[in-house]
Chains A and B, each alone.
Chain A
Amino acid sequence: MAALRDGDFAALQTLLKAPSKDAVRQLCQECFCSPPAALGPLAQRAGPGLAVSAEEAEQLVSALHNLTRHVVYRGFTRAEDILCLFPENFHQNLKNLLTKIILENISAWRNEAQASQISLPRLVDMDWRVDIKTSSDSIVRMAVPTCLLQLKIQEDAALCGNNPVVSALTVELSKETLDTMLEGLGRIRDQLSAVANK
């Protein structure tokens, strides 16, 4: 996560050259979503629209990325908190516009940050089936119920980019195993309730 740097606010004033408020809005969105590595190409695309040099475009894009990410990091929800970040001599209207755009997007951006945070592989889906085993090589006639559980697990989103790898794992549980598992899950539920009620 990048921190706000001194030159960032100066660079942001380049936005005064933007053709419309929507263009600013669009750029804010793109700068937030882009990972640091993709800021270069983004600057190249945005530069022509703003009639600025390549270097100025890069500085702008980087500054906007830092600003949006910083606000999301701090979890600001009020306009005052965001307005305070700007230096005194910053262009008033631009300051208000940026604050407004950020507030519009902050909750979607927070959710996105939370959804893409690092984690262990995540459970995305689960299906089950109950079979009755009627015969095997060790015993010719029986009627033993067993459960097949299929878990769809997605690898860490950050590692896979836009193509998350989902693997399916099928496990078999006997009745005894299921009972033990339910006991464990019940304990988790009880502890969660205890935490929630504090």
Chain B
Amino acid sequence: MGLLNFTREPVPEAVSADMHNLNQLSAQQFSALTEVLFRFLTEPKEVERFLTQLSDFATMNKISLGPLKNIVKSILLVPNGALKRNLSSEQVRADFIALGLSEEKASYFAEQWKVNSPTLTRLAVGQTLMINQLIDMEWKFGVTAGSSELEKVGSIFLQLKLVIKKGSQLENVYVELTLPQFYSFLHEMERVKTSLESFS
């Protein structure tokens, strides 16, 4: 086996056998299995659904679930590595062929990879570490009519509630701004937007 694109580590022994088994599937069966896989890759939280669909596939095609799961584990090695390394569809195809998958099936999978990779890349970027991510912002503004020290006030206040993700918990932060502060804040945020846009 030559150098692989999706990984620098040696591939587990079982993978060749799994690819060989995959080659035994008809084009239709392989296509159905690929669809199940990509649906899971684009929605990684839907684990229950994925397992159910695999189980259905196994039953419909008279394959034992255990070996099927091993095959799926082997196949998933490639897209996971490819995503990390921003591989092109040609590289994905070449890797599957190097692992022992037929040219026809490798090309098919690579095509599906091309179609799904923008979604998958966006997901991977979204999983990247964020510190104290701002999830939501709620606001209200109003007029202070009076206080215990001043019978009539008539000043405008703005209150923001920032919902921040700290680790796995959400924390609410409440802040009050005066009107000049608000305009200054807005101005700064517009400058940030310009800066972010120039780098996109």
Residues of A within 8 A of B (CB): 1, 69, 72-75, 110, 113-114, 116-123, 126, 128, 130, 132-133, 136-149, 151, 153, 169-175, 177-182, 184-186, 188-189, 191-192, 195
Contact = CB atoms under 8 A, between A and B. Distances in A.
B149 A123 contact: no
Contacts of B189: 178, 181-182, 185
Contact-residue bracket for chain B: 35 or more
B11 interface: no
Main secondary structure of the interface of A (DSSP, over half): mixed
B186 to A, nearest CB: 5
A126 B128 contact: no
Contacts of A118: 147
Interface of B: 83-86, 121, 124-125, 127-135, 137, 139, 141, 144, 147-153, 155-159, 162, 164, 173-177, 179, 181-186, 188-193, 195-197, 199-200
B150 A117 contact: yes
Contacts of B186: 182, 185-186, 189
B185 A123 contact: yes
A87 to B, nearest CB: 22
A182 B182 CA distance: 12
B34 to A, nearest CB: 22
For A132, A144, A189, the residue with the greatest tally of chain B CB atoms inside 10 Å of its CB is: A144
For A116, A137, A171, the residue with the greatest tally of chain B CB atoms inside 10 Å of its CB is: A171
